[in-house]
Structure 1
Amino acid sequence: MKCLCKQKEVHDLKVEGDIGADPIWCNQCGCNLDIEDIPISLALKSELMEWVWKYGKWIDWDKDGVFPNGIELEEEHNKQGMYLTEKLRGELEDKYKVSFSPSTFARRRADK
C-alpha cells in the first residue's frame, strides 16, 4: 500500500466512514486507501464496504441537520465500526497499527 507520507508506505491505518470513500485511511497523511490493496479477507472487505455505504443515514442533507433518531443511528454505526476495526486488527495481526475514528456529526449538531 502506498500513500502520501514521506516514506510512501503505510504503517498506521484508520477506519473511518465518509461519503464516497473506502473505509480505510493512512492515519499519518490522511490518504484514503483502496480497500483492494489491504491484505485482508474478502469477507471483511465486504463487511467494511457495507458499513461505509451506510455512513450518513442519520444526516438530513436537505436541512443540513440530523434526523430525529440520528444520534442513535450514528452511535450504532460507530459501534459497528469499532467491531469491524477489531476484526481488521485481528486479520492484520501486528503488521499495522489500526485505530478507529468515530463519526461525531449528529452529536455535534445536537450540542448546538
Structure 2
Amino acid sequence: MDCFCEEAEIYELKVEGDVGADPIWCNQCGCNLDLEYVPISNELKSELTEWITKYGEWINWDIDRIIPNGIEMEEEHIKQGAKLTEKVKEELLGKYRIKFSPSTMARSYARKTP
C-alpha cells in the first residue's frame, strides 16, 4: 500500500466513506488507499465495496438536499461502517491502528435545508 507519508510506511488506517473513493485511508497523511492492495480477505473487500457504494444515498444530488429519512439512512450507514471497521481490525490485528470516521453529511445538509 502506498501513501504520501514521509516515512513511506503506514501505521494508522481509517475506514471512512466518501463519494468516488475507496473506504480505506491512511490516517497519517489522508491518502485514499486502493482497496485492492489492503491485506484483508476478498470477502471483507466485497463487504466494504458494497458499503461504500451506498455512501450518500441520503442526498438528492440533483437538488443538493437531504432526502426524507436521510438522517436515519446515514445513521444506518454509520452502524454498518462501524461493524465493518471491527472486521478490518480483526483481520489486520497487530499490523495497524485502525479507526472509524463516521459520516456527518446528512446533518450538515439538514442544517442547510430551509
State the Cα distance separating 1:34 from its structure 2 match: 0.6
Q: Secondary structure at the match of 2:14?
A: strand
Q: What are the within-5 Å matches in structure 2 for residues 71-82 of structure 1?
A: 71-82=71-82
Alignment of 1:44 onto 2:44: yes
Amino acid at match of 1:109: Y
Which sections of structure 1, spanning at least 5 residues, go unmatched?
none
Following TM superposition, the consecutive aligned residue runs of length 4 or more in structure 1 with deviations greater than 3 angstroms are none
Paired position in structure 2 for 1:19: 19
Which sections of structure 2, spanning at least 5 residues, go unmatched?
none
Q: What are the within-5 Å matches in structure 2 for residues 91-106 of structure 1?
A: 91-106=91-106
- Residues 76-103 of structure 1 show CA distances to partners (whole Å, capped at 9, x for unaligned) of 0000000000000000001100001111
- Residues 52-96 of structure 1 show CA distances to partners (whole Å, capped at 9, x for unaligned) of 011010011111110011000000000000000000000000110
The TM-score normalised by the length of structure 1 is 0.96
Aligned partners of 1:73 and 1:89: how far apart in 2?
24
How much identity, in percent, do the aligned residues show? 65
State the Cα distance separating 1:9 from its structure 2 match: 1.4
- Residues 18-74 of structure 1 show CA distances to partners (whole Å, capped at 9, x for unaligned) of 111110000111100011111111000000000001101001111111001100000
Indicate the RMSD between aligned Cα atoms, in angstroms. Answer: 0.9
**Count of aligned residue pairs for this structure pair:** 112
Aligned partners of 2:56 and 2:109: how far apart in 1?
13
Amino acid at match of 1:106: A
